[in-house]
Structure 1
Amino acid sequence: MSNRLSWRVPGAALIALVLDLLLGPIQSQIWNGTDAPAWIGSLIWPDIARPWVQNILAPVLGPEPYEIFGRLTILIYLGNLMAWSPFFAEQESRLLRIAAPFAWAALAIAALADIGSYWVAGLHDEALRFHTFWQVEVPALALCLLALMLAGIARIRTRTGWHMSDILLAATPLTAILATGTLQYMPHGPLAAISIGAFILSKTPQVTRPSS
């Protein structure tokens, strides 16, 4: 009997990472203004992409650049959620089979909070944005990062030899801190690290279902 993988789409994490790297600098530039990191000012494509994307999406996503590019963040979340199934094959360690679904669930919660921050609150409801972002999305992202770290540790403990993918997965929180410090904007900083972790997990054996 042949098997097919469950709904995961491994390449979705790479698409999410590319989107994050494209949208993150733009959103940092919009939010931080003249205080944005100097390296973002040296990029060419934000100045090219911003007016083009705004003209196309403003009728749908609103006139504010912050809301236009912020609302596109949900695509990064969706890409990562599609990248790996929260259920892993029984031959994987117990720690991995617990940590990976926990990370997926935390990421899903963060995605819902992100909708609240950008799509519901936007720039006009600062109180709601504070609650959805700082009290829900950021803690959920932190839990996701910690769970991905545990998944990486589980892989290191159960596999023979050192594998760079396992080390990268275990270092997900550190990568998130470095990305956030470099970008000076969230949630795109943590999401860059999560995208890498999601791609690594997408390559891990996961629960399959028999084909019909």
Structure 2
Amino acid sequence: MKDSYLTIACPSSEILFKEKNSKFFGYAFPVTSEEDVKNCLDDLKKEHNSARHFCYAYQIGTEEKQYRVNDDGEPNNSAGMPIYGQIQSFDVTNILIVIIRYFGGTKLGVGGLISAYKTSAQMTLETAEIIKKTIDIEYKISFDYKNINKVMRVIKEKNLDIVSQTMNESCEITISTRKKNAEMIFDIFNNLFEIEVTQL
């Protein structure tokens, strides 16, 4: 079972690729929603207010992935798809890559554009810090305070991450575990007397 994925740790540093006087500036951002994508694009449009083309591709999701490409005025499939091809090639998700083009006066043709956008996206990903993250499942454990030792022993033994906890007479702890261990962890808590476990 695949329970990890690759993404980038933080926004990449800007790269510049030049082709026949056209300049291509490349950026990569970690994103988890379309709202994130919109905010990144808005910021870049303020920064590069005289650029004509803001071409991009993004992919969001770990198990169910969704993606979108945008040629932003360039010929069909000459910008967004070559950028997305690099996202696939590097096998990363939760990422937005934007390539901003300043036209240099010489037309590159569709083949030239595809090559330039692909190279710019590749250079952008090569400068980004790619990290591996696990796909985690969260469970809420509910119990009376008298059973706290039973619960804490499992958390310690299985090295589980505590996301949040409320300790009163009745207690609630939210724990996180890697997807591949989730079923086993659920069964352990489910078999404990007077302990209730629910997946979040």
TM tier, shorter chain?
A: under 0.3
- Tell me which protein shows more helix as a share of its residues: 1
TM-score, normalised via structure 2 length = 0.23
Q: Which has the higher contact order (CA 8 A, sep 6+)?
A: 1
Structure with higher Rg: it is 2
TM-score, normalised via structure 1 length = 0.22
- Tell me which protein shows more strand as a share of its residues: 2
